[in-house]
Structure 1
Amino acid sequence: MATEGQSPPMSWRDSYRGMSSDNIKGLILALSSSLFIGASFIVKKKGLKKAGASGIRAGVGGYSYLYEPLWWVGMITMIVGEIANFAAYAFAPAILVTPLGALSIIISAVLAHIILRERLHIFGILGCALCVVGSTTIVLHAPQERGIESVTEVWDLAMEPGFLLYAALVITAVFILIFHFIPQYGQTHIMVYIGVCSLVGSLSVMSVKALGIALKLTLSGMNQLVYPQTWVFTLVVITCVLTQMNYLNKALDTFNTAVVSPIYYVMFTSLTILASVIMFKDWDRQSPTQVITEMCGFVTILGGTFLLHRTKDMVDGLPTSMSSMRLSKHADEDGIDGEGIPLRRQDSSRSP
């Protein structure tokens, strides 16, 4: 029995108030985005294979896939997924939406196993399970979306000293990487290109979220297009996305995709969560236990993503000698040696 003057302990039903309607909408949109994007990779690959059977393969400079309807179905599916992802940021905090991008990797891997007959190793299955566990942990403990009534409120958050300092450090680091490190180390150090993509990406997500909120409020009857801040955020989104695409393409062209993808995901997601915590103060509305639980979920997703990528080419029961031959083959084709060290691709037909 509780002593006089002390309130009885709260049960977990009282402490857990559930997800807000906005968070649920954002969650559904983020899950839909992962489904569409994950499926798009498989559909596009089917289209590329079909086009390559009747024309010049894309890998050797062919463009016959542009005449293949299946490839366009995959491209449209990816665009729908990206639109759903964009909309998700308008309803839910970035700390909920961004990590769920790992689910597209799971969907792609599972569909490749079923449709393309690409073997999914037992450790790959474990990686998928870890991603699901980590995502579930984050979903159950994500902060409620901050109530915002105008795009000017988002602008005020962006103009606070903490986020201005973060943005200044990011822009400074990006310029240093572009003008000093890329000319010297861009072709030999994978972190240079990915560093630019990830740093710029954290700012682009904050701007995408601001623009998404502006469009959501506009569609609900509160016109935000009359505010100059909306167009400033639009300009930032366009600039950041174009920069990301440019340097991500350089990274993919120079290094093995299996190495670029997990490193980029880890850096981009980590910096995006940091930017969101600084700008929208997501953790101010949570207890230390919730914050720690979210971080554990995020680390679990990172572990699952790494495991899935690291074992994607492994085959159960493969003898050691054959495994060495397989690694040697990938070293020649993809520019990665037997110890998983990314090397520069040596493609003489590639334009400088």
Structure 2
Amino acid sequence: MDTQSWKDVYKGMSSDNIKGLVLALSSSLFIGASFIIKKKGLKKAGASGVRAGVGGYSYLYETLWWVGMITMIVGEVANFAAYAFAPAILVTPLGALSIIISAVLARIILREKLHTFGILGCALCVVGSITIVLHAPQEREIQSVKEVWDLATEPAFLLYAVAVIIAVLILIFHYLPQYGQTHIMFYIGVCSLMGSLSVMSVKALGIALKLTLSGTNQLIYPQTWAFTLIVIVCVLTQMNYLNKALDTFNTAVVSPIYYVMFTSLTILASIIMFKDWCSQFLKASLNGI
């Protein structure tokens, strides 16, 4: 892409979208590295205790795992800030960078092999993410966290949330005990489904924080704390089953599958809740007229 084309891209993006872009890229660097550090910690803990993949929590006493966890938290904080400035449809796909980082580090540090199809998959993730980023819609103006709550309690999103919770419960209590050690999709399914709900809640908290810092206090509303509780529950669930997935399967396999499923479900949830593409479709229709 030539210089003029890049100027056109940035001209079409709002300043908030650009801030979100930079924060999301920084987040991917930290999160990609954290996968490898946590994997090293899980392997070290598993050598002297009960492995996470079979229900153990010995990794909680492993310093290296906590270093990886702190690295991930730094990345998630940057990600949290990114959601305050840009739509989820723009921020989430940028996680493709974390796949490249984790795949390269897994090859160098963990000596895990990345086959031809794995390399092709990573490349396709990056191409798809760039395409989405360049065509990301402008974010709708939201004046209060109560407005986000109204969006979250509309019938369409409530139906999606209920379907996600039912699917997660079925996976946890029926499929994981039987197939968790042999089929990666069940662990990743739980992480991705819960992740799509956590991202919507993180987006709401990001908006609340942004408005609070600009002088409109959102901490007085119970909806803010309700979103906080949802984030805590979803993140703890994600962390638990992601640890099991990392302990059981290769990082080079876990990372891209998790990214694709998580991103796809997050985009779907964002379309349902925030209706990010509605204005784009309307604009295209009016231009056609």
1:60 aligns with 2:52: no
Instruction: Give the Cα–Cα distance (whole angstroms) in 2 for the partners of residues 251 and 264 of structure 1.
Output: 10
Cα gap change, 1:241/1:166 in structure 2, threshold over 3 Å: closer, same or farther? same
Shift of 1:204: 0.8
- Residue 206 of structure 1 aligns with which residue? 200
Unpaired runs of 5+ residues, structure 1, are: 1-12, 50-56, 291-352
Which runs of 5 or more structure 2 residues have no equivalent in the other structure? 1-6, 50-57, 285-289
Matched residue SS, 1:89: helix
Task: Determine if contact 2:99/2:259 at 8 Å carries over to the other structure.
Answer: no
Change (3 A) 1:288 1:258: farther
Q: Partners in 2 of 1:72 and 1:267 — Cα distance?
A: 26
Aligned with 1:193 (options 184, 187, 199):
187
> How far does residue 74 in structure 1 lie from its aligned partner after superposition?
5.7
> Could you tell me which residue of structure 1 aligns to residue 147 of structure 2?
153
State the AA in 1 paired with 2:48. G
Query: What whole-Å deviation, never above 9, does each CA across 1:33-79 have from its counterpart, x for those lacking one?
Result: 11223345567789999xxxxxxx54512899x898x9876654433
- Letter in structure 2 aligned against 1:209: K
Which residue is 1:106 aligned to? 100
Q: 1:193 to 1:87 in 2, by over 3 A?
A: same
Q: Aligned match of 1:144 in 113, 138, 157?
A: 138
Alpha-carbon contact 1:22-1:145 (below 8 Å) kept: no
TM-aligned CA distance change 1:23 to 1:250, over 3 Å: same
Query: 1:53 is matched with which residue?
Result: none
Describe how 1:19-38 pairs up with structure 2 within 5 A. 19-38=13-32
Instruction: Quote the residue 2:54 is aligned against.
Output: none
For 1:15 and 1:79, how far apart are their aligned partners in 2? 31
**Aligned equivalents of 1:254, 1:244: Cα separation in 2:** 15
Match of 1:81 in 2: 75
Specify the code of the residue in structure 1 equivalent to 2:153.
M
**Which residue number in structure 2 is paired with residue 345 of structure 1?**
none
Query: Relative to 1, partners in 2 of residues 1:238 and 1:75: Cα closer, same or farther, differing over 3 Å?
Result: closer
Give the Cα separation in 2 of the matches to 1:183 and 1:115: 31
Does 33-42 or 99-108 show the bigger shift? 33-42
Shift of 1:262: 2.6
- The 1-side partners of 2:246 and 2:102 are apart by 18
Mapped contact 1:163–1:279 kept (Cα < 8 A): yes
1:333 maps to what in 2? none
Cα distance in 2 for partners of 1:272, 1:95 equals 8
Q: What is the percent sequence identity of the aligned residues? A: 84
Distance 1:164 1:124, change over 3 A: closer
Shift of 1:169: 1.3
2:173 to 176, 179, 196: 179
| Structure 1 residue 90 displacement after superposition | 1.3
Q: Secondary structure at the match of 1:286?
A: helix
Residue 167 of structure 2 aligns with an amino acid whose one-letter code is A
Gap change, CA 1:113 and 1:289, over 3 Å in 2: farther
Amino acid at match of 2:278: D
CA distance in 2, matches of 1:18, 1:247: 39
Distance 2:160 2:220 in 1: 28
Answer yes or no: is 1:237 the counterpart of 2:224.
no
The separation in 2 between residues aligned to 1:82 and 1:242, in whole angstroms, is 13
CA distance in 1, matches of 2:40, 2:10: 45
1:134 CA drift (Å)? 2.7
Q: Which has the higher helix share?
A: 2
Distance in 2, Cα, partners of 1:74 & 1:183: 27
Contact 2:102 2:252 in 1 (8 A): no
1:265 corresponds to 2:259? yes
**Alignment partner, residue 276 of structure 1:** 270
SS at structure 2 position matched to 1:282:
coil
CA distance in 2, matches of 1:119, 1:183: 28
Partner deviation per Cα, 1:229-264 (whole Å, 9 max, x = no partner): 000000001111111122222333344444333322
Change (3 A) 1:191 1:283: same
Paired residues, number:
270
Contact 2:39–2:246 (8 Å) recurs in 1: no
Residue number in structure 2 paired with 1:168? 162
3-state SS of paired residue (2:201)? helix
* Equivalent residue for 1:18, pick from 12, 20, 25: 12
CA contact (8 A) 1:27 1:92 kept: yes
Alpha-carbon distance change, 128 to 264 in structure 1, aligned in 2, over 3 angstroms: closer
TM-score (norm 1): 0.65
Q: Note closer, same or farther for the CA distance 1:266–1:130 as it changes in structure 2 (3 Å cut).
A: closer
